[in-house]
Amino acid sequence: MWLIKGLLKWSITIALLGFVLSKIDVLEFFSILSAFDPLFFLLAFCIQFSLSILQAIRWRIIVNSAQIKIERVGAWLNVLIGLFFNQAFPSSIGGDAMRIYFAKSIGVGSAFRTIIIDRIFALLTLSVISLCICCVFFLTSSDLPYIELMLLAELLLILGCFAPIFGEPVGQKLKKFKRVNLATINTFCCQFREIFYNQTKILQIAFMSITIHFFVSVSGVLLFLGMGSDISPLLLGAIFALVNLFSVIPISFGGWGVREGVAIALFSSLDIETEVVFAVSVLFGVLMIAVGLSGGAVWLLASKKARALKI
């Protein structure tokens, strides 16, 4: 089954990239790439790699909510190995699976719950940010395409992220059905609710998530600046956040194809050359691969003691 899903995602990725390539001038694309200032790529790389530290801090907050203490360096290395395997497998699920495996010292169940909760909060924050961005574009009568569809998708994503809040009480009512074993789901939902209703922790998680998503957009803006773009960085960053949200749709390898297609569609509202948008999108994909490979290298070079997670 895993092999079939992998082949399917590769097929979709190739098909989407093929479709996008048919819409651009390939020679112009390579000409634009050759004029790109690599210093901006290096700056974007430093930002993206540094964000792994914030991701580790956010995960530690979630783990601590379960009364489990973990090492700071160990948590960071766990995030890095996840970034590496995100690039090695057809979806980010592979990275999460490896993170859970290497976090088994805190219990497989605890590792699974905390990593998935971390994912949900990250998606929820990005969905809320994107919803606010789309609302501004909508109210200012922007030419941004598919804005109504994006608003609907963002609302559905937000509702989906809130589902665990209601899952635990529903599970309690279903306990009377002996054939339905919802203990694991109830435990997960209960932990999610405890974090969500803890004002201190939820504010910390929200701050970390907003900061991470902000600097992801900054790294995208830097790539545009490296292309010599003179468009407002605020507009570039806002639309890049939308691209980032919809590129997480798990139908392709590492978001390739989806990211390029969405970027070309949305940035068309700013009258940016298709080839420039495609070049930035490709560079961002390469950037994420570079971050993942660097994360894997740091993890491999780290000592066994540094990789230890549970205190």
Read off the pLDDT of residues 95-126 as tens digits, 9 standing for 90 and up: 888 899 999 999 999 999 999 999 999 999 99
Average pLDDT over residues 195-203: 93
Alpha-carbon distance of 119 to 113, in angstroms, equals 10
Position of tokens 């790439």? Answer: 33
- What pLDDT was estimated at residue 265? 92
Q: Does residue 207 carry a pLDDT above 90?
A: yes
Q: Give this prediction's pTM.
A: 0.90
Q: Is 103 helix (H, G, I), strand (E, B) or coil?
A: coil
Structure tokens given for 69: 């203490």
Report residue 111 as tokens.
Answer: 């590792």
How many whole angstroms separate alpha carbon 27 and alpha carbon 12?
Answer: 24
Any domain includes 50: yes
48's tokens: 């993206």
Does some domain include residue 141? yes
State yes or no: pLDDT of 284 exceeds 80.
yes
Q: Which residues of 228-262 are buried (b: 16+ CB within 10 A; e: fewer)?
A: ebebebebbbbbbbbbbbbbbeeebbbbbbbbbbb
Task: Give the number of domains in the chain.
Answer: 1
Q: What is the DSSP letter of 268?
A: G
SS3 call for 310? strand
> Residue 1: is its pLDDT beyond 80?
no
Structural domain includes residue 76? yes
Residue 15 maps to a domain: no
Q: Locate tokens 């801090």: which residue?
A: 57
On whether residue 146 sits in a domain, the answer given is yes
Average pLDDT on 17-33 reads 89
Closest CA relative to residue 236, chosen from 205, 294, 287, 276: 276
pLDDT higher than threshold 80 for residue 10: no
Closest CA to 243 of 83, 95, 125, 126: 126
The pLDDT tens digits for 90-103 are 555 678 888 999 99
Q: Which two tokens stand for residue 298?
A: 């740091």
pLDDT higher than threshold 90 for residue 208: yes
Residue 305 has pLDDT above 80, yes or no: yes
Tell whether 32 is covered by a domain: no
| Environment class of 304 (CB within 10 Å of its CB; exposed 0-12, middle 13-18, buried 19+) | exposed
CB 63 within 8 A of CB 309: no
Q: pLDDT digit string (tens) for 40-90?
A: 999 999 999 999 999 999 999 999 988 889 999 999 999 999 999 887 665
Query: In sequence order, what are the residues at sequence separation of 6 or more whose Cβ sits closer than 8 angstroms to the Cβ of residue 166?
Result: 189
The answer to the question of residue 219 being in a domain is: yes
Residue-wise DSSP of 185-207: HHHHHHHHHHHHT-HHHHHHHHH
Domain of residue 201 covers 37-307
Distance CA 75, CA 307 (A): 8
% pLDDT > 90, the chain:
62
Q: Is 285 helix (H, G, I), strand (E, B) or coil?
A: helix
Half-sphere exposure of 239 (CA within 13 A, CB side): 30
In the chain, alpha helices (H): 2-21, 26-34, 38-64, 72-88, 92-102, 108-139, 147-174, 183-196, 199-226, 233-246, 258-267, 274-301, 304-307
Tell me: pLDDT of 162 over 70: yes
Q: Is a pLDDT exceeding 60 seen at residue 131?
A: yes
Q: Is 23 within the bounds of a domain? A: no
Q: What is the pLDDT of residue 2?
A: 56
The pLDDT of residue 86 is 82
Report the pLDDT averaged over residues 254-273.
90
